[in-house]
A and B are shown apart, each in its own frame.
Chain A
């Protein structure tokens, strides 16, 4: 097969010592970037792009792609160890990951995150290798009405994540939805909820909210415990048991499918996708009550979905020249400066370049696995750092992380405010996951509804006249109904 031949050639190029070194360097940098709250792959790539201008094209791109993958890996480490997601996509990982860490299973959690990421990322790359142009074409058929169906499907996860009280979960979600509306409306430019000031004009930044809700809240809650040095987790085994690994095989495959499939659609954020993957795992599990309390599949699913999404993001990038996320947009500009002309003709006109890059992404995945597994022990020892040192570090990094998003102290203030909100929510028993999910989904919901109605000149019939949209909508409603019914059965005395 011609493709394999090209790929082999690509590997030949990518496996030179020089290029391997750059892949390693990029992976390390990316991981560091992912670990720091607030500094995600987008800023990481943007900051490091100038460095690559002194390099020839292939190593530069290899390094940048490695950074992108590395950032996805890095975000999960802090999510598990200290309940601080490094970026939006890691939020779901912390739901079970942190619980596992608190039970002394930080090692297996970190390990399964690395393993799942590797498996899903590599499988996703296989999809990219063999099916890119076809997949890109299919992805184009998903328009606003179909997106709406998808978002409705995703909202059903809110019901799932509501915990014992549906009312509390929905309220948290409604609050998240409200927060998403503040600022300039991205479509019409109208100012909403700015009350005449310029501070809120930029809206309430996601990352600031997450830093507040997770990192700062966690410290505020943690500080209440009176012991002066609180060990965060006891260190148990470092690797998951054979049985746990076997249990996760299905999880990893499902997560790959979901992550890759949804990741092909430009505009479907990795955060939303990881929530969906997590929820699917819960539904298919025979013991769903373990989720939220340290279920290993609850870490394997979002981590796998994340990396599959990362691989999938390259499909529209290479095949259509359309970046699915801001980080990919920066990557694209870097690629174009080096002469890459994305589009279906890319694979025909510049095979060497593309295949070298794709080969190096495989290598990057392996490298990250090799880097991260041994480091599990090192990371887990972070738990031995006394809380008296860890707490201020977390707070300082949170403050700086929130600042770094837009170089604005307002965002830091927001993070603090949400730190308080999160603290109050924990004290009063309101779940934070629905708030985050609603925050992620509301912009997608709004744009898909408004665009669909614009397309149909105001008629809502558009949602029922397009087959894919109808299917997704019906599935979403059915799923929500099913979840409600099964909750009734499980928790009969609460709504």
Chain B
């Protein structure tokens, strides 16, 4: 063989090395790309919020913000990796309700502690909408409660996961409506989309998934919302009464997404993100985009966010025990 393979190889490597993207400037945070870890597969609730926020931050700070998906083990794997990373502000965690308070309400041996993080801010809420099939005879949440009490065995409801948002939301509703849960037919699905799709096809009669999971089919007229768990009616759904209006003021299960980092994150980094998220929640364009991905912007600063998580835990712990899912 002549020199050509060697020359070609060297030329290739040199060319590729120079084709590399330029490094960032030195000095202020951030001076290199930031990674926001999402402990779930792309396309889910946390992922979408992460991408929205990431794009906003990237534009404001002129630095890449990459969303890294580390799915597995109900979010435990990714969360663990993010929380044990170096606390320099370049690895953050976009955590949803599932891996924060709900997880601790259900599992007793989680490989990380609830306070093993630096909470930065609550970003979005994904309210629960109780739904029935579009042509269902039940017109209100009270109708549903009555039907379930009358014939629990024939009452089929679909939930995504035994300890997911829907499991909590529907169980809370059934408890407060006085329905004997043990006699009902609970159908487990592997995700929100299959659950609402089954509802649309009439294979189950009731669901309590989040706004982002239910919106498509509601707008398409295949399923109908009978109540939304939120202080006010949702934009775009003026016909869905709030849980309070529907006669069930105690229902308070809600999905949410917030930003946190490993423990010991430097205060200036936290402050910078807090300012950004606060600004974003007042930016009309950002609000508009959030509504498009079916999220409610609900900014809370670090202390309020932490308090919120503790409130959530206090809410879900007894519920989980009552549901019999506390391990």
Contacts and interface: CB of A to CB of B under 8 A. Distances in A.
B114 interface: no
Given A50-B51, A339-B292, A344-B221, A454 B186 contact: yes
B43 A323 contact: yes
Interface stretch (B85-93, B191-199, B307-315): B191-199
Given A50-B67, A53-B55, A333-B47, A345 B188 contact: no
Contacts of A49: 51
Interface stretch (A9-17, A186-194, A214-222, A250-258): A186-194
Given A46-B42, A454-B185, A202 B77 contact: yes
B43 A143 contact: no
Contacts of B251: none
A323 B198 contact: no
Nearest to B186: A454
Contacts of A454: 156, 185-188
Contact of A337 (B41, B71, B222, B289): B289
Interface residues of B, number: 57
A321 B215 CA distance: 8
Contact of B203 (A45, A144, A323, A329): A144
A286 interface: no
B231 interface: no
B253 interface: no
A121 interface: no
B319 to A, nearest CB: 16
Contacts of B52: 337
A247 interface: no
B4 interface: no
A337 B77 CA distance: 28
B227 to A, nearest CB: 21
Interface in B103-153: 111, 153
Interface string B51-73: 11011001000001011111111
A407 B68 contact: yes
B187 A336 contact: no
Interface residues of A, number: 55
Nearest to A407: B70
Contact of A329 (B44, B55, B215): B44
B174 to A, nearest CB: 15
Interface in A335-350: 336-337, 339, 341-345
B216 A330 contact: no
Contact of B185 (A320, A328, A455): A455
A234 interface: no
B232 interface: no
Interface string A125-141: 00000000000000011
B201 A140 contact: yes
A207 B187 CA distance: 29
A483 interface: no
B48 to A, nearest CB: 5
Interface in A402-452: 406-408, 447, 450-451
A467 interface: no
A326 B55 CA distance: 21
Given A198-B111, A266-B194, 5 more contacts: A46-B69, A144-B187, A187-B189, A201-B72, A336-B48
20 contacts: A45-B42, A50-B51, A140-B202, A143-B198, A143-B201, A143-B203, A184-B73, A189-B161, A189-B163, A201-B72, A202-B77, A320-B200, A321-B217, A333-B42, A345-B220, A406-B72, A408-B77, A450-B188, A451-B187, A451-B198
8 closest A-B pairs by beta carbon, nearest first, are A321-B216, A329-B43, A343-B220, A202-B72, A143-B203, A140-B201, A187-B188, A201-B73
